[in-house]
Structure 1
Amino acid sequence: MIRYRFHSFLQFQLPFLAWCIFIFTVSSIPQARIPNFVNYTDKMVHAGVFFTLCWLAHVAFRFQPAAFLRTHALLLAWIFVVLFGVSDEYHQMFTPGRTSEVLDLAADAAGGLFYVLFYRRFRFYDRYILTR
């Protein structure tokens, strides 16, 4: 049983936690070191990073022993993404050379919402894979 839980943690929760740490680490880098190629490219990057975060959070919540987390995994994943985006923007207020922007938070929330819509549209593939 303990071995199964550890394997489950490595497979489902660890990638989620590692991605959260990655986001926090990158948002701690001063802005001058991060290239900005085109206007609003950073918003697309925010949306992509938080799309991935929502996906990993959804998987992590779906494979929890608590029934509430499993049954509401998609909603909880999106709520987590929004709250993590708020905390990320707050954290950037104190990072030298970085600023907190409402548009970044909107891009974070939109990235999570894109995942929710994507999952709801293509979830029959998920059911097919899980029942094989």
Structure 2
Amino acid sequence: MRHWLPPLLWAVLIFIGSSIPGREIPGMVSTASILLHVGEYCALAALAARAGARQPGGMQGWQIAVVAFAAAVWFAVTDEIHQAWVPGRTVDTMDFIADAAGAGAGTLAWYFLLRSRVWKKRHIIV
């Protein structure tokens, strides 16, 4: 269970950030906002994949990556819906696309790190 603490805490931080009413957030350039979304969900998916890899159960690396990606995208959907009830916030398709792109980048980065020789030499995960 301890391996799940980092992705859970990260998800809580994302939720807290998206709960801030829109008027309290300083104006961000659109590119900065998109990069923030990509970074948030890149980290979330990578942390979830890392935690999933440490679970017993015999899942292959690609299966862990798919589950981590799906979980991060599901969280992105629920987070965007949640923002519909936050004053000054709306559901934004571009934010969701950035979230999904970040989740994809995070799972791919984790998967390729997993497959690298250096990773295999230092860890027992295949």
Look up the match of 2:123.
130
2:97 to 91, 106, 113: 106
Alignment partners' CA distance in 2, 1:67 and 1:84? 25
- Any unmatched runs of 5+ in structure 2? none
1:61 to 2:48 alignment: no
1:117 to 101, 108, 114: 108
- Verify the 8 A CA contact 1:24 1:88 in the aligned structure 2: yes
* Aligned-partner SS, 1:126: helix
Higher relative contact order (CA 8 A, sep 6+): 2
Q: Which moved more, 1:65-74 or 1:107-116?
A: 65-74
- Verify the 8 A CA contact 2:44 2:72 in the aligned structure 1: yes
More helix by share: 1
Quick one: which amino acid aligns to residue 120 of structure 2?
Answer: R
1:69, CA displacement in angstroms?
7.9
Look up the match of 1:51.
42
Quick one: which amino acid aligns to residue 11 of structure 2?
Answer: C
Look up the match of 1:94.
85
State TM-score, norm by structure 2.
0.86
Query: 1:28–1:69: structure 2 CA closer, same or farther, 3 Å change rule?
Result: farther
2:63 to 49, 66, 72: 72
Query: 1:119–1:60: structure 2 CA closer, same or farther, 3 Å change rule?
Result: closer
* Aligned-partner SS, 1:29: coil
- The alignment covers a number of residue pairs equal to 122
Look up the match of 1:3.
none
Aligned-pair identity in percent equals 33
1:86, CA displacement in angstroms?
0.3
- Any unmatched runs of 5+ in structure 1? 1-8
